[in-house]
Amino acid sequence: MVCLIAGWALDQRKGWLILPATPWYAPRVALSSALVLLGLAVIGYCAWQFKAAQTHIEPWRATTSIVTAGPYRFSRNPIYLAMTLVISGIGITVDGIWVIAMLAPTLLVMHYGVIAREERYLEAKFGKVYLDYKRSVRRWI
């Protein structure tokens, strides 16, 4: 959220357009809407998967099981990928290059500040079960 707001603020000061200005914005609206809706749908589906597994979706709460169904068959971090889609869609909506550019620090913070810590926790808690899952499913895509 901090990077999204920072990108928006930078765009207000010195914005460059991602897409050429045209009187017809339907393609931009369609693309940005699709990205945001897809991202929100994936987040919702992942939340449903966590509820079905009877574990917490909040990363600061104790995990009771490893979710491996749904999008978690293809990525160990589909919620973070979905958040990237939402931020990209917002960036396209506001036509802000800085919002898109701020994805880089956002992804770095996610990777080193959140995902690495989560993986250490899951390895310590679930051991071989998590290591096997980690070997069979990619971190991102």
For the stretch 63-114, pLDDT in tens is 999 999 999 999 999 999 999 999 999 888 877 777 888 899 999 999 999 9
CB count within 10 Å of CB 15 equals 16
Number of domains the chain contains: 1
Q: Is residue 19 a part of any domain in this protein?
A: no
What gap in Å lies between CA 132 and CA 112, rounded to an integer?
A: 21
Residue 49 has a pLDDT of: 96
Phi, psi (degrees; rounded to nearest 5) at 53: -85, 0
Better-predicted residue by pLDDT, 115 or 15: 115
Contacts (Cβ under 8 Å, ≥6 apart) of 14: 98
Q: Is residue 13 a part of any domain in this protein?
A: no
Residue 15 has a pLDDT of: 57
CB count within 10 Å of CB 85 equals 19
> pTM for the whole thing?
0.84
What gap in Å lies between CA 81 and CA 39, rounded to an integer?
A: 8
Domain of residue 95, residue span: 2-8+25-136
Q: Is residue 14 a part of any domain in this protein?
A: no
Q: Is residue 141 a part of any domain in this protein?
A: no
Integer angstrom CA distances of residue 44 from 36, 74, 78, 104: 12, 16, 11, 24
